[in-house]
A and B are shown apart, each in its own frame.
Chain A
Amino acid sequence: AQSVTQPDIHITVSEGASLELRCNYSYGATPYLFWYVQSPGQGLQLLLKYFSGDTLVQGIKGFEAEFKRSQSSFNLRKPSVHWSDAAEYFCAVGADGGSQGNLIFGKGTKLSVKP
């Protein structure tokens, strides 16, 4: 069965430091992969997505992610974190054979930013 694993429940980084959030997926074919961000009391906002092509994907707010098939990973990165990046981040994969709106989400990584 498909699954998404985000190994880190909570990460704290200093403002201005670099960030990498890990995501591993289990999927048989070429996956559709997504990263979403959720601020407290808010819905989810799409940061970036990967369907095919270039394995390094650029997103909004200065985020990028790299698809590595050999490692079944899709890690999210940002070179310099801002205090406003504090939120919860979810990695998701499109369900195999599922409808377009059927995404399987990881449990999320909560990001805290130290001043």
Chain B
Amino acid sequence: ETGVTQSPTHLIKTRGQQVTLRCSSQSGHNTVSWYQQALGQGPQFIFQYYREEENGRGNFPPRFSGLQFPNYSSELNVNALELDDSALYLCASSLEQLNSPLHFGNGTRLTVT
């Protein structure tokens, strides 16, 4: 069983640039969630995708957007990067049932300078 994989592991961008982070879901999982974890904080929910559509969103501005593909892999896009976007971005996959646990990847560490 293949786990959740994320790429790249580390990324450095400049303020104002755009970034795309990628996630490959665990085999058989059809739901993907993205989280932002700032240094010293718990993860914060960005959004969730199911059947290629966003079906839940946290308190993040529209410059945070995502995609889910037919093979259930996913992308997180962030436009107009700000310094406060520096964080660990975590992807988690699961089944759609309410009691299906989230399986997290190791994350992408984004640094915005």
Contacts and interface: CB of A to CB of B under 8 A. Distances in A.
Interface of A: 4, 32, 34, 36, 41-46, 49, 51, 90, 92, 94-95, 98-108
A49 B4 contact: no
Interface of B: 4, 31-33, 40-45, 48, 50, 55-56, 58, 90, 92, 94, 96-107
A45 B45 CA distance: 16
Contacts of B58: 102
A106 B101 CA distance: 17
Contacts of A32: 98-99
B73 to A, nearest CB: 16
Contacts of A95: 45
Contact of A99 (B42, B44, B55, B106): B55
A46 B101 CA distance: 8
Query: Lowest 3 A-B CB distances belong to which pairs?
Result: A99-B56, A101-B33, A105-B42
A53 to B, nearest CB: 11
Contact of A43 (B55, B97, B105): B105
A95 B44 CA distance: 12
A81 to B, nearest CB: 22
Nearest to A48: B101
A9 to B, nearest CB: 9
A29 B94 CA distance: 23
A108 B4 CA distance: 22
28 contacts: A32-B99, A41-B106, A42-B106, A42-B107, A43-B4, A43-B106, A44-B43, A44-B90, A45-B104, A46-B101, A46-B103, A49-B101, A92-B42, A94-B98, A98-B56, A99-B48, A99-B55, A99-B56, A100-B94, A100-B98, A101-B31, A101-B92, A101-B94, A102-B56, A103-B45, A107-B40, A107-B41, A108-B41
